[in-house]
Chain A
């Protein structure tokens, strides 16, 4: 739940901000992000092993993903489909014919000694991502460039034993060479899991922009259903490149890479820390101390530390992967996928904005595809847009938060929320009772109508004295009057627009200044409405 809601950035105390503002008067940061998105395909990229995060080490492996002699990769076509979806969603130009390449380096988590990746011809390139910055950070819209999207395979993991002894499973694994040292071994479950690497243009200038770019990517892959985008599980990994230069300077400063960013807020804070660090070195005339290196963000210290200095450029000796044929896309294939794309976050936000919702609401509702779907389904029942938004963002969100549930877990359906809103708006029930009913609905389910009736029984026993119009004949008169005063609506109702029942009920309540017994009122109203003249 926490993870699912992390997309939206929370405002952080701006204690550092004064210092930050001061520095940014003279310096500008240039930020680019390299994101790895783990695709949630049923099987790995080049073999039929499933991937389940957290599975026991080396239980989801086969000759192919272990790099056994003689094993060959065969591409999972879902990987291409996902890449095309993401490429299209990022407004990229797709390569009709791309290919796979081998990126070569030695590391124990890389079973073949090379990673199957794409080098000079990525499947998609030259796109952009629209982001809306959080309102609490000043808001604003940015169009951030996407350099390229390419497909590749993930590596395994190096694991350490907790107590220096290996589990029986590891020791008896047929390839016990995976034990490397006295307390380190290789887990290849993740090896061969498909990734998309998405490289941004150096278009971002602040930590918030960068974090929102990453958050929007997460939103996008979740909307597309190609990844769970979960940062803590490593399904979405961000490496940030950052340099600082004096305002007005054309060329970039020395670039530093930051890794180990496990949340959007760490992306934002790490960048702000790094901007400050670099800008201070600049202003102290020590710009030469900024060297090309990889730094790690340490969450505890809230600082970046040098991990390794770059010893020149690594030579990965890329060459075309001879075990895989080229990747050829037909125009028809692409257009079929394009037609199947869901409404994307940016489009959704603009639509909500045009409905008259404020930006805070828009960002909240469009943040989570399931919340957005719930909202869309609610307003499809004819519910008032603003009221629907308020209920979802208010009491429903609060309930979800407290109970650590997602919107799919609650018992309330959009239809009933629509009904509830209509009942309140129509005056059948007041807001206070509406709230009570809502809590019943989210926790236990049921229908608004059913619950109103239940509540009414309660009302009848305890609160009858509050109601001075419980006489059916008196209510009948008022009903007749209201129907006579609204012939157009009556005609529409009888033509099938039965939702207008709420409207009539509202009018009657107005007429009686809220004093009519709702159950009686509805009963009589329905009879009258459904009696053919």
Chain B
């Protein structure tokens, strides 16, 4: 574990990093894939002990953000320096005056562009919302700000969250910091790339079918998809309402956990948010150093059989398998579980998500807000505004969804997909009755080349196989780096750990059989070889 004295290192120029730089651009080497300490906690410590100031942190972060932005294009909007610095200055004054500071004071957050911010545009990556500024903050953003976090900008994404590469953004293509010729994943590719390149400390994303977890895997960062209902969706531009959740990106499990803690809880503005109590995830962190030799003793881990077979890259399989052996070393009881319905998730997901999106996107009609193409008659106002404002992937999904909901097809598609969803939910419940966590790869491959799947949507959809089931079942899942494709020179591989609903937390010291130790074990990481390199 890094001592607090080393904290500023996280924001230092990558050239000074001790990692071997094995990537296309040495400048863009992600800061660390070692068991990262919590940036939030170490910074907080440094700020409160006055080893550093928020203004200095802000300056170096903004510097780094701008320096990498031309190559990465992870942000659609960056907050003006003076606004960020002013907030940092206020924080410094509070610290100076020994006033209380929020739990997220001095945390620089990137926010996915489909999450509403009242002081910044919120386009959801779509032309139809170009320059649109919401009159309100999303509940998650409001909470972050109330706790002292500073929003540095809005991150790029596939239009309305529809895509797995961030190439579907109407504005720009984001590059993967590990290899600029590759996609960062999607749809929260901007958030994943930004956290990976340390352009911000943590970031909010959204996950409808894997849009937090797959880019986390591609960019080698931690991605957390909470239980459906854990985090308010108010202010999240809807893609598929029954699947959408706001999720967290961090460079460490701890940061993702702290961020989740901040944004969780029931919200009067979201009728689907849960009243389930929010435990203080952060207070339960136990550094791995202090643990006994088998800290995860008794934890039942089920490896999903269907996710390690055909269609999954062998390097991905071997990375996940070695992470599983690591879990066994830590004391877990590992078994293989079969979820025969697993492969049904993909078609069911695409029908349900498209159906809901065809409805959710009806509001982009040029009336009231967004781009309006003035027409001679109503029909052309609608038609032209939508034709010009929406991208092709979005149009395709609207068409698919409209078809699936049409009279005469509803039963064969939408209704059937809902039945499949019930089967999937039940099969996960059964598996999670017997296991504390379930394990799979986060994606069947590592990040692929930009343009590689652009004209093959089915191939892109197939890449969501690992993640969509979790949304259909509404469960929480954590993705964290577990290895590299082609050894330490390759692209990051992510492992997905799926827990039971609302079991994002786990009190290991009292009940080792509780699921999901991920947030608890602050430093848990599977990328051991990288640790030794530093």
Contact between B362 and A106, CB atoms less than 8 A apart? yes
Q: Quick one: closest A residue to B232, CB to CB?
A: A72
Known: A70-B234, A322-B242. A177 touches B368 (CB 8 A): yes
* Closest-CB distance, A56 to chain B (whole angstroms): 17
Known: A63-B136, A70-B138, A174-B135. A112 touches B363 (CB 8 A): yes
* Closest-CB distance, B140 to chain A (whole angstroms): 11
Q: Is A339 an interface residue, CB under 8 A from the partner?
A: no
Q: Scan residues 302-340 of chain A and give those whose CB is less than 8 A from a CB of chain B.
A: 313, 315, 317-319, 322-325
Q: Is A104 an interface residue, CB under 8 A from the partner?
A: yes
Q: Scan residues 355-402 of chain B and give those whose CB is less than 8 A from a CB of chain A.
A: 355-356, 358-359, 361-363, 365-370, 372, 378, 381-382, 402
Q: Is B129 an interface residue, CB under 8 A from the partner?
A: yes
Contact between A74 and B270, CB atoms less than 8 A apart? yes
User: CB-defined interface of A82-111 with B at 8 Å, one 1/0 digit per residue?
Assistant: 000000000000000000001010111001
* Closest-CB distance, B335 to chain A (whole angstroms): 35
* Closest-CB distance, B425 to chain A (whole angstroms): 15
Known: A69-B116, A74-B268. A177 touches B370 (CB 8 A): yes
* Closest-CB distance, A182 to chain B (whole angstroms): 10
Q: Is A66 an interface residue, CB under 8 A from the partner?
A: yes
Within 8 Å by CB of A325, from B136, B271, B405, lies B271
Alpha-carbon distance A318/B415, docked complex (angstroms): 12
Q: Is A113 an interface residue, CB under 8 A from the partner?
A: yes
Alpha-carbon distance A319/B409, docked complex (angstroms): 12
User: CB-defined interface of A33-76 with B at 8 Å, one 1/0 digit per residue?
Assistant: 00000000000000000000000000000010011111111110
Tell me which residues across on chain A come within 8 A of B365, comparing CB atoms. 106, 108, 113
Q: Scan residues 200-241 of chain B and give those whose CB is less than 8 A from a CB of chain A.
A: 233-238, 240-241
Contact between A186 and B368, CB atoms less than 8 A apart? yes
Q: Is B526 an interface residue, CB under 8 A from the partner?
A: no
Tell me which residues across on chain B come within 8 A of A67, comparing CB atoms. 363, 368
Q: Quick one: closest B residue to A108, CB to CB?
A: B367
Q: Is A114 an interface residue, CB under 8 A from the partner?
A: yes
Q: Is B199 an interface residue, CB under 8 A from the partner?
A: no
Q: In the complex, which of the residues B240, B272, B355 has the most CB atoms of chain A within 10 Å of its own CB atom? A: B272
Q: Is B132 an interface residue, CB under 8 A from the partner?
A: yes
Q: Is B25 an interface residue, CB under 8 A from the partner?
A: no
Contact between B362 and A104, CB atoms less than 8 A apart? yes
Tell me which residues across on chain A come within 8 A of B363, comparing CB atoms. 67, 69, 111-113
Alpha-carbon distance A102/B360, docked complex (angstroms): 10
Alpha-carbon distance A72/B356, docked complex (angstroms): 14
User: CB-defined interface of A110-128 with B at 8 Å, one 1/0 digit per residue?
Assistant: 0111100000000000000
Q: Is B124 an interface residue, CB under 8 A from the partner?
A: yes
Contact between A114 and B362, CB atoms less than 8 A apart? yes
Contact between B367 and A177, CB atoms less than 8 A apart? yes
Q: Scan residues 150-203 of chain A and give those whose CB is less than 8 A from a CB of chain B.
A: 174-175, 177-178, 180, 186, 188
Alpha-carbon distance A72/B269, docked complex (angstroms): 7
Known: A75-B271, A175-B368, A315-B407. A69 touches B129 (CB 8 A): yes
* Closest-CB distance, A470 to chain B (whole angstroms): 76
Contact between B134 and A69, CB atoms less than 8 A apart? yes
Alpha-carbon distance A72/B235, docked complex (angstroms): 8
Q: Is B414 an interface residue, CB under 8 A from the partner?
A: yes
Q: Is B73 an interface residue, CB under 8 A from the partner?
A: no
Tell me which residues across on chain B come within 8 A of A317, comparing CB atoms. 358-359, 402, 405-407, 410
Alpha-carbon distance A324/B115, docked complex (angstroms): 20
Q: Is B525 an interface residue, CB under 8 A from the partner?
A: no
Contact between A186 and B367, CB atoms less than 8 A apart? yes
Q: Quick one: closest B residue to A188, CB to CB?
A: B368
Contact between A69 and B122, CB atoms less than 8 A apart? yes
Alpha-carbon distance A529/B238, docked complex (angstroms): 81
Tell me which residues across on chain B come within 8 A of A102, comparing CB atoms. 359
Contact between A111 and B359, CB atoms less than 8 A apart? no
Within 8 Å by CB of A72, from B233, B367, B378, lies B233
Q: Scan residues 11-43 of chain B and give those whose CB is less than 8 A from a CB of chain A.
A: none
* Closest-CB distance, A294 to chain B (whole angstroms): 18
Instruction: Tell me whether chain B's interface is mostly helix, strand or loop, or mixed.
Output: loop
Tell me which residues across on chain A come within 8 A of B116, comparing CB atoms. 69-70
Q: Scan residues 128-171 of chain B and give those whose CB is less than 8 A from a CB of chain A.
A: 129, 132, 134-136, 138
Q: Quick one: closest A residue to B355, CB to CB?
A: A319
Q: In the complex, which of the residues A68, A114, A324 has the most CB atoms of chain B within 10 Å of its own CB atom? A: A68
Q: Quick one: closest A residue to B116, CB to CB?
A: A70
* Closest-CB distance, B394 to chain A (whole angstroms): 14
Count of chain A residues near B, Cβ 8 A: 36
Known: A113-B365, A319-B359. A69 touches B382 (CB 8 A): no
Q: Scan residues 423-444 of chain B and give those whose CB is less than 8 A from a CB of chain A.
A: none
Known: A106-B362, A186-B368. A69 touches B124 (CB 8 A): yes
Within 8 Å by CB of A74, from B115, B269, B355, B370, lies B269
Tell me which residues across on chain B come within 8 A of A71, comparing CB atoms. 234-235
Tell me which residues across on chain B come within 8 A of A323, comparing CB atoms. 238, 241, 271-272
* Closest-CB distance, A311 to chain B (whole angstroms): 14
Alpha-carbon distance A241/B89, docked complex (angstroms): 69
Contact between B135 and A63, CB atoms less than 8 A apart? yes
Tell me which residues across on chain B come within 8 A of A73, comparing CB atoms. 271
Tell me which residues across on chain A come within 8 A of B240, comparing CB atoms. 322
Known: A69-B134, A177-B370. A319 touches B414 (CB 8 A): yes
* Closest-CB distance, A189 to chain B (whole angstroms): 14
Contact between A180 and B233, CB atoms less than 8 A apart? no
Q: In the complex, which of the residues A74, A114, A177, A324 has the most CB atoms of chain B within 10 Å of its own CB atom? A: A177
Contact between B366 and A177, CB atoms less than 8 A apart? yes
Q: In the complex, which of the residues B236, B270, B362, B382 has the most CB atoms of chain A within 10 Å of its own CB atom? A: B362
* Closest-CB distance, A113 to chain B (whole angstroms): 2
Contact between B241 and A111, CB atoms less than 8 A apart? no
Within 8 Å by CB of B132, from A69, A107, A112, lies A69
Within 8 Å by CB of A68, from B355, B362, B369, lies B369
Alpha-carbon distance A4/B516, docked complex (angstroms): 64
Tell me which residues across on chain B come within 8 A of A324, comparing CB atoms. 271-272
Tell me which residues across on chain B come within 8 A of A111, comparing CB atoms. 363, 367-368
Alpha-carbon distance A114/B478, docked complex (angstroms): 35
Q: Quick one: closest A residue to B233, CB to CB?
A: A72
* Closest-CB distance, B92 to chain A (whole angstroms): 33
Q: Quick one: closest A residue to B129, CB to CB?
A: A69
Known: A112-B362, A175-B368, A315-B407. A72 touches B271 (CB 8 A): yes
Q: Scan residues 223-282 of chain B and give those whose CB is less than 8 A from a CB of chain A.
A: 233-238, 240-242, 268-272
* Closest-CB distance, A316 to chain B (whole angstroms): 9
Tell me which residues across on chain B come within 8 A of A318, comparing CB atoms. 405
Tell me which residues across on chain B come within 8 A of A319, comparing CB atoms. 355-356, 359, 405, 410, 414
Contact between A70 and B367, CB atoms less than 8 A apart? no
Q: Scan residues 105-138 of chain B and give those whose CB is less than 8 A from a CB of chain A.
A: 114-116, 122, 124, 129, 132, 134-136, 138
* Closest-CB distance, A157 to chain B (whole angstroms): 13
Alpha-carbon distance A70/B235, docked complex (angstroms): 4
Q: Quick one: closest B residue to A102, CB to CB?
A: B359
Tell me which residues across on chain A come within 8 A of B138, comparing CB atoms. 70
* Closest-CB distance, A512 to chain B (whole angstroms): 75
User: CB-defined interface of B408-423 with A at 8 Å, one 1/0 digit per residue?
Assistant: 0010001000000000
* Closest-CB distance, A446 to chain B (whole angstroms): 52
Contact between B271 and A175, CB atoms less than 8 A apart? no
* Closest-CB distance, B393 to chain A (whole angstroms): 18
Tell me which residues across on chain B come within 8 A of A315, comparing CB atoms. 406-407
Tell me which residues across on chain A come within 8 A of B370, comparing CB atoms. 177
Nearest first, the 6 closest Cβ-Cβ pairs linking A and B are A113-B362, A322-B242, A322-B241, A317-B405, A70-B235, A69-B237
Could you name 12 residue pairs across A and B whose Cβ atoms are closer than 8 Å?
Answer: A69-B122, A69-B363, A70-B134, A72-B234, A74-B270, A74-B271, A114-B362, A174-B135, A178-B367, A313-B407, A322-B241, A324-B271
Q: Given A180-B367, A317-B407, output 20 extra A-B contacts at Cβ < 8 Å.
A: A63-B135, A63-B136, A67-B363, A69-B122, A69-B237, A70-B115, A70-B116, A70-B138, A70-B234, A106-B362, A112-B362, A113-B365, A175-B369, A177-B367, A178-B367, A318-B405, A319-B356, A323-B241, A324-B272, A325-B272
